[in-house]
Amino acid sequence: MVPPEGAKGFQDNFQNRHVIIEGNHIDDSYIYAIFVSNADGARIAGNVIGQTFVRGNAFGAGDFFGIKPDSAIFVGRARNVEISNNVAARGKIATTPVAIDPSCDKRTVHLAGNRLA
């Protein structure tokens, strides 16, 4: 889903469907390692994440969505999401493995076994 021109924040839709991000090794990311939004049905599992935000909170990460980055994985405006068994490196910015935006349907977001290393 691409936000319309001039849009700010999460759009009111769930256009990204059945997203699977599983079994990846992600290293040296300049922003979040994994960022999922506007999703209905997402599985983020078994990923190994090295350093994120390697230049600090550069490039205004999070400004468009009104969030302050503090995690390796971020999920916004989503429902029916499973986030499990991901390992992320602790860093200057990433102090938690996963952050869930208040715009998500929290009743359908399931977290299990995510940790910082």
- Does any domain span residue 6? no
d(CA 20, CA 43): 5
- Does any domain span residue 1? no
Can you give the pLDDT of all 117 residues of the chain as single tens digits? 666 687 777 888 898 999 999 999 999 898 899 999 999 999 999 999 999 988 876 666 667 677 788 999 999 999 999 999 999 999 888 899 999 999 999 999 999 999 999
- Does any domain span residue 20? yes
pTM greater than the 0.85 cutoff: yes
- Does any domain span residue 43? yes
DSSP the chain: --PPTT--S--S---EEEEEEES-EE-S-SS-SEEEEEEEEEEEES-EE---SBTBSGGGTTGGGT----EEEEEEEEEEEEEES-EE---SS--EEEEE-TTS-GGGEEEES-EE-
- Does any domain span residue 10? no
How many domains are there within the chain? 1
- Which structural domain range is residue 30 located in? 16-116
